[in-house]
Amino acid sequence: MSVERDIAIDVRGLTKSFGAKKVVDNLTLQVARGDIQGFLGPNGSGKTTTIRMLCGLLTPDSGEGTCLGYDIRRQQEEIKRYVGYMTQGFSLYRDLTIRENLEFVARVYGVDAPEDAAQAALERLGLVGRADQLAGELSGGWKQRLALGACILPGPSLLLLDEPTAGVDPKARRDFWDEIHHLSTQGLTVLVSTHYMDEAERCHKIAYIANGRLLASGTIPQIIAGARLSTWVVTGDGLDAFSDELKRQPGVDIVARFGSELHVGGRDEAAMERLARRYGAEGGHRWKRDEPTLEDVFIELMTRAGADR
Amino acid sequence: MSAEQSLPGALRRPARGALAQSWRRFVAMFVKEFIQLRRDRPTFAMIVGIPLIQLMLFGYAINTDPKHLPTAVLTSDDSPIARALIGALQATDYFNIKYIARGEADADKLILSNKAQFVIQLPPDFSRQLVRGKKPALLLIADASDPVATSGAVAAALGAATQALDRELIGPLASLSQKAAPYEIRVHRRYNPAGETRRNIVPGLIGTILTMTMLMYTAMSVTREIERGTMEALLTMPILPVEIMLGKIAPYVVVGAVQMATILIVAALLFQVPVVGSLFTLTALTLLFIVANLSVGYTFSTVAVNQLQAMQMTFFFFLPSMLLSGFLFPFYGMPKWAQYIGEAMPLTHYLRIVRSVMLKGSTFGDLAVDAGALAAFTLVAMSVAVMRFRQTLD
């Protein structure tokens, strides 16, 4: 019983097709209460569809599971009450002021004294001065902030955030993540999809999906260890041309440029070692063994998923 | 966002009656819609603008019993009898003799070129034949391509012709005078003694204007939320489809009431169309009619994918409403099947209601059937809308 209570999201075998295209394919995911779960994957990998199935906006073709212990197929009313969903696009009313939007949300969720609740949210968001501005006139960063504020106003237990920081400047992005961590310390579970690696690194756990399939999940060290990638950092001259040459070598799974370095890695450790020794002996570039980064792993996962297709 | 402030989790809903909670959500929706409506200035302006303009336009413009129609006379008979006859026709006010035709070809041309709507043709020896008791023919050629325009004039001509010569046919000609029928026909034009078209049109306009505006307002409401992307958030909130529907309809009931009041005031001031019956009955049944139309519009809104489709559905519904309800053409002049279609339109029932209450002073009891039809219509439309409302994005 206590184990179940500690799990906020528990879904098995979620599958959803649109027409002939399987957008989410047999996805199984568990998220512990209080965790910030990062949800990563390339565009069109099925992140939004998965989140929509979790909050009852889409009905899975097959698969089952619970959010906060409520069945995602049958207990959608309860899920709507206790799950806050922040859509990818701005989905508050642009022709309502900030205050009016918050009051609307408070009333719909049956919050006591909706005006006071909206005022409290305004103060928390630092939007008191702009309370009577139309929501549509806000900048991207403020829009996201307002959307998050509207999401947490009714006091949900689980937040589903779909690319909340897309198109938001770095400062606003950092503030946003500070707020998410703050919420997490208060016991909220957060599932957040993102493209940004630095954001992924701020999550407690990460799930990576491509082509609708879950390719890796766990903590960052777990994911890096699970990838079994042997990585070398290559420095020197003519890296662009060298990068093309390396990509053609057998045993090389990723070649990625990071500033003045090349990250070269492969799952076949022996092959990689032979390669490093051979090129190292040629002396044109400096080869140094290093731990793979999360980004190396994602690039490898993405390349492999692309090859599967 | 300071760390000290706690989440408003403490504000979470306490146990409360389900109905009270439902009412709160309805109010949330109502307030939201009302603010959006108020902020949409062009729409707000049109709420009063549309009825006013249409009422002025149609109230003054439409007349189904036109007078002073352009008429040509074709005759070479210049006798007092012929002149008396033509004078009598002109005295009916229907004929405005503007042309003297120079032969039949000329008369045809006047009609073909739409210069004259009638040609009065007397044979050259009309008076001579008449005096000899030979019953000559007076030919009234009417351009009946527009039957509504000509029918009144034709009826008046028939009446005028029988009496026109009473004064001329005296003395030795008295025997030619028509004998009066052994009985008298009295016609009471009740409720509209002068037969004024506007007494029929203005109440009807309340119905058509409300149909058009109410349908449009709600037809847009759900599709607009889908197109603006707000529906995705709304669907994840704990609000029921029926609460969304009622919350979206209610502000427009107020709007409809304002429109009705505007039209009634203008009708009384400008067109002297009174409200003979009870204003309370009229208001109550008009509100019912407003809700019926809003429900239909809302149903369209749940079926349509975008605002353009919703608009097209509105017009698909609006045109038959205008034409088959008895607004423009007499309801009982239509074939049975068309009457059945007409009976399925809220406007048909409302026209009976509004004309009866305003002109005849009918009471609620007289109109129970039509009121019941409107109520049934509303219920069906609302049920369909709630069932059709897509609660997911599937």
Q: Does B11 touch chain A (CB under 8 A)?
A: yes
Candidate from B13, B234, B236 with C-beta closest to A111: B13
Whole-angstrom distance, CA of residue B259 vs CA of residue B114: 39
Whole-angstrom distance, CA of residue B290 vs CA of residue B353: 13
Closest CA to A55 of A141, A140, A162, A213: A162
Residues in chain B, overall count? 394
Q: Which two tokens stand for residue A275?
A: 């390669």
Choose from A108, A122, A183 for mutation: most chain B CBs within 10 A: A108
Q: CA-based Rg of chain B, rounded to a whole angstrom?
A: 30
B4 pLDDT higher than 70: no
Chain A: closest CA distance from residue B145 (Å): 52
Cβ of B230 and A91 within 8 Å?
Answer: yes
Q: Does B44 touch chain A (CB under 8 A)?
A: no
Residue type, A33: R
Closest residue on chain B to A177 (Cα):
B1
Contacts of B25 in chain A (CB under 8 A): 107-108, 110
Contacts of A108 in chain B (CB under 8 A): 25, 28-29, 237-239
Percent share of chain A, pLDDT over 70? 97
Cβ of B8 and A178 within 8 Å?
Answer: no
What pLDDT is stored for residue B256 in this prediction? 93
How many H-runs (helices) and E-runs (strands) does chain B carry?
Answer: 14, 4
DSSP 8-state secondary structure symbol assigned to residue B179: P
- Scanning A182-221 for CB atoms below 8 A from B yields 182-183, 186, 188
How would residue A137 be classed by pLDDT, with cut points 50, 70 and 90?
Answer: very high
Percent share of chain A, pLDDT over 90? 60
How would residue B7 be classed by pLDDT, with cut points 50, 70 and 90?
Answer: very low
Residue A67 CB neighbours (<10 A) = 28
- In degrees and rounded to multiples of 5, residue B72 shows phi and psi of -115, 150
Contacts of B238 in chain A (CB under 8 A): 77, 80-81, 108-110
Sequence-separated (6 or more) residues with CB below 8 Å from residue A79: A55, A56, A67, A68, A70, A72
Contacts of A122 in chain B (CB under 8 A): none
Whole-angstrom distance, CA of residue A105 vs CA of residue A99: 10
Whole-angstrom distance, CA of residue B52 vs CA of residue B263: 7
- In degrees and rounded to multiples of 5, residue B268 shows phi and psi of -75, -40
Question: Terminal CA-to-CA distance of chain B, rounded, Å?
Answer: 36
Q: Does A87 touch chain B (CB under 8 A)?
A: yes
Sequence-separated (6 or more) residues with CB below 8 Å from residue B12: A111, A154, A155
Contacts of B21 in chain A (CB under 8 A): 110
Q: Has the ipTM of the complex gone over 0.95? A: no
What pLDDT is stored for residue B167 in this prediction? 65
Cβ of B238 and A111 within 8 Å?
Answer: no
Cβ of A155 and B11 within 8 Å?
Answer: yes
Q: Does A132 touch chain B (CB under 8 A)?
A: no
Chain B: closest CA distance from residue A100 (Å): 8
Q: What is the pLDDT of residues A178-206, one digit of tens each?
A: 999 999 999 999 999 998 888 998 999 99
Chain A: closest CA distance from residue B302 (Å): 17
> Mean of the pLDDT values across residues B361-381?
94
Tokens 């010569």 belong to residue: B165
Q: Does B237 touch chain A (CB under 8 A)?
A: yes
SS3 A105: helix
What pLDDT is stored for residue B9 in this prediction? 44
Q: Name the region of A5 (left: φ>0; alpha: ψ -120 to 50; beta: rest).
A: alpha
SS (H, E, C) A133-166: CEHHHCCHHHHHHHHHHHHHCCCCCEEEEECCCC
Q: Does B390 touch chain A (CB under 8 A)?
A: no
CB B74 within 8 A of CB B204: no
CB A19 within 8 A of CB B360: no
Chain A: closest CA distance from residue B219 (Å): 19
Beta bridge partners of A290: A231
DSSP string, A231-300: EEEEEES-HHHHHHHHHTSTT--EEEEETTEEEEEES-HHHHHHHHHHHHHH-SEEEEEEPPPHHHHHHH
Contacts of A109 in chain B (CB under 8 A): 13, 237-238
How many H-runs (helices) and E-runs (strands) does chain A carry?
Answer: 12, 14
Q: Does B13 touch chain A (CB under 8 A)?
A: yes
B3 pLDDT higher than 60: no
Percent share of chain B, pLDDT over 70? 91
Contacts of A120 in chain B (CB under 8 A): 5, 8
How would residue B176 be classed by pLDDT, with cut points 50, 70 and 90?
Answer: low
Contacts of B8 in chain A (CB under 8 A): 111, 117, 120-121, 152-155
- Reported pTM: 0.82
Chain B: closest CA distance from residue A18 (Å): 9
Whole-angstrom distance, CA of residue B378 vs CA of residue B374: 6
Mean pLDDT value across chain B = 86
Choose from B5, B7, B234 for mutation: most chain A CBs within 10 A: B7
Whole-angstrom distance, CA of residue B208 vs CA of residue B210: 5
CB A160 within 8 A of CB A128: no
Residue A231 CB neighbours (<10 A) = 23
Whole-angstrom distance, CA of residue A209 vs CA of residue A16: 14
Mean pLDDT value across chain A = 90
Cα separations (Å) of B14 from A116, A119, B2, B9, B18?
Answer: 16, 20, 26, 11, 11
Q: What is the pLDDT of residues B193-242, one digit of tens each?
A: 777 788 888 888 899 999 988 998 899 888 999 999 999 999 999 999 99
Candidate from B14, B229, B393 with C-beta closest to A89: B229
What pLDDT is stored for residue B175 in this prediction? 66
Closest residue on chain B to A116 (Cα):
B11
Residue A305 or B353, more confident: B353
Contacts of A85 in chain B (CB under 8 A): 233, 236
Domains defined for chain A, CATH in brackets? 2-95+134-218 (3.40.50.300), 230-291 (3.30.70)
> Mean of the pLDDT values across residues B305-309?
90
Residues in chain A, overall count? 309
> Mean of the pLDDT values across residues B278-282?
93
Beta bridge partners of A24: A16
Q: Does A128 touch chain B (CB under 8 A)?
A: no
Contacts of A107 in chain B (CB under 8 A): 24-25, 27-28, 31
**Positive or negative torsion for Cα B106, B81, B155, B67:** positive
Whole-angstrom distance, CA of residue B179 vs CA of residue B92: 22
CB A94 within 8 A of CB A134: yes
Size of interface A-B (CB pairs under 8 A): 119
Q: What is the pLDDT of residues A42-57, one digit of tens each?
A: 888 899 999 999 999 9
Domains defined for chain B, CATH in brackets? 20-61+195-388 (no CATH), 69-176 (3.40.1710.10)
Q: Does A107 touch chain B (CB under 8 A)?
A: yes
Q: What is the pLDDT of residues B342-357, one digit of tens each?
A: 999 999 999 999 999 9
Cβ of B7 and A93 within 8 Å?
Answer: no
A4 pLDDT higher than 80: no
Residue A13 CB neighbours (<10 A) = 13
Q: Which two tokens stand for residue B215?
A: 């349908």
